Chains A and B, each alone.
Chain A
Amino acid sequence: MPMITIENVSKWYNPTFQVLKNCTTSVDKGEVVVVCGPSGSGKSTLIKTVNALEPVQEGTIMVDGLNVTTMKKDLPKLRSRVGMVFQHFELFPHLKIVDNLMLGQTIVLGRSEDAARAKAMAMLERVGLTAHAQKFPGQLSGGQQQRVAIARALVMDPICMLFDEPTSALDPEMINEVLDVMVALAKEGMTMMVVTHEMGFAKKVANRVIFMDAGEIVEDAQKDDFFGSPRSERAQQFLSKILAH
């Protein structure tokens, strides 16, 4: 049974604008799936439906066997098991880095302060930022903030991780430090769904690539098939544009 299942999902923002058109795909345990496509294709919206941050009007989404679309009361508990990393980091600016990492652990998982702090420092070690534990997010660079954001998701011991354009808001020289963390995560066997334009990352660690355009999943292929011989014309055009440089 796949870790994440998206079945016939459609979403309208208003009667005239359909942002997701009958999308169907899945992500197996340990798989790394990259979602790419032009702006406005619905890829960010699609990934946000997986942990119900965006509601859907039609279709079913399952995570680890649980129906996300019909869940109400247990949704927070499920969300704590699905890690999410946002394009604009979204660290809590009024809390120190270590407190950012402890908040979810103490409130949602009920861990003791000491256990939460130990885990927080361990994750900061993993992303290489222990020296910044007592600082505030505003004192860190974008790349550092995004690494903290990844750590914030990891401290919850997630079963899978969702990344919504994690490097799109970063200066070029900071992109690699974040991608390195993500590559290491993938190599450890984390189930990942990543919306990104970074095709180098996709070529390195992705198992599958999904191409979206205008709300539809146009192509959903194994990595080598997608980059080697994409079937649809839209995917070919897209690849030729972004692989140019």
Chain B
Amino acid sequence: MFADFDFNVIWRSLPYLFREGMTFTLTLTAIATVGGLILGTLVALMRLSSNVALSTFAASYVNLMRSLPLVLVIFLFYFLMPYIGQWILRADAPVQVGAYTSTIVTFTLFEAAYFSEIMRAGIQSIPRGQVMAGYAIGLNYREVTRHVVLPQAFRNMLPVIFTQTIVLFQDTSLVYVLSITDFLGAASKVAQRDGRLTEMYLFAAVVYFAICFTASFFVKRLQKRISIIR
């Protein structure tokens, strides 16, 4: 059955696939995850604050980002970012932002909206008594949030955060719309150049699966180490 398949194309293109493609995929995933989590936590805290301006802004931001398809947001940001940059920096002309920078900012801001909802659920699941106990020993709002609420919220939401990261890892393949080459894009290019579509796409599937499987193993170990003993 596999007689007509030429799997050598895979070995020949391995350096290109991983040095060019996978590097971008992993970099984008890492930056968007870390940046998105930090920003998302901030947005979650803003949304839960008693300051109406802050909470309304945060809610609007999250609702907007979660209403639009990612591929559309990628395009929108790519075309709008020069003008936004001009407005922020008060420059004379639209600021030149390359596709690479644009996608990093886009993905971070997009993921932040999703992570914000995850962290908001985590923060709200912490019993009010915990917050009161923190205040009772003399911690202020910032200290209670940092030392009592967020550590527990993060540990509780780790499985969901990991799921979101997996989705993000897969979504990075959308960057092809801006002609950026991620791992899947690199596999596609080789497939089309060498006329070996089946082999390359099969290989890409195996690689994505292997990475997700390995990641879930490490996350389970991490979870065991930091999860709260009840």
Residues of A participating in the B interface, judged by any CB pair closer than 8 Å: 48, 51, 53, 76-84, 86, 88, 90-94, 103-104, 107-109, 136-139, 152-153, 156
Contact = CB atoms under 8 A, between A and B. Distances in A.
B86 interface: no
B132 A80 contact: no
A107 to B, nearest CB: 6
B120 to A, nearest CB: 19
24 contacts: A53-B132, A53-B136, A76-B135, A79-B135, A79-B136, A79-B137, A79-B138, A86-B129, A86-B132, A86-B136, A90-B130, A91-B133, A92-B133, A92-B152, A94-B151, A94-B228, A103-B147, A104-B138, A107-B143, A107-B147, A108-B137, A138-B228, A152-B137, A156-B137
A76 B136 CA distance: 8
B139 A104 contact: yes
Contact of A93 (B135, B136, B228): B228
B155 interface: yes
Contact of B152 (A84, A90, A94, A152): A94
A206 B161 CA distance: 51
Counting chain B residues whose Cβ lies within 8 A of the other chain, the interface size class is 20 to 34
Contacts of B192: none
Given A53-B135, A108-B139, A152-B137, 5 more contacts: A83-B136, A84-B133, A91-B133, A92-B152, A136-B229
A224 B153 CA distance: 49
A245 B127 CA distance: 34
Contacts of A51: 136
A76 B151 CA distance: 21
Contacts of B127: 90
Interface of B: 127, 129-130, 132-140, 143, 147-148, 151-152, 155, 228-230
Nearest to B140: A76
Contacts of A78: 138
Contacts of A76: 135, 138-140
A86 B135 CA distance: 12
A53 B155 CA distance: 27
Contacts of A94: 151-152, 155, 228
Contact of A107 (B132, B133, B139, B151): B139
Most buried by B among A84, A91, A94, A153: A94
Contacts of A139: 229
B184 to A, nearest CB: 39
B138 A156 contact: yes
Most buried by A among B138, B140, B148: B138
A186 B186 CA distance: 74
Contacts of A136: 228-229
Given A93-B152, A94-B152, A138-B228, A80 B135 contact: no
Contacts of B140: 76
Contact of B137 (A88, A103, A138): A103
A224 B103 CA distance: 76
A113 to B, nearest CB: 15
A2 to B, nearest CB: 21
Contact of A138 (B135, B136, B147, B229): B229
Contacts of B139: 76, 103-104, 107-108
Nearest to B230: A138
A111 B230 CA distance: 30
A107 B135 CA distance: 12
B138 A80 contact: yes
A51 B133 CA distance: 11
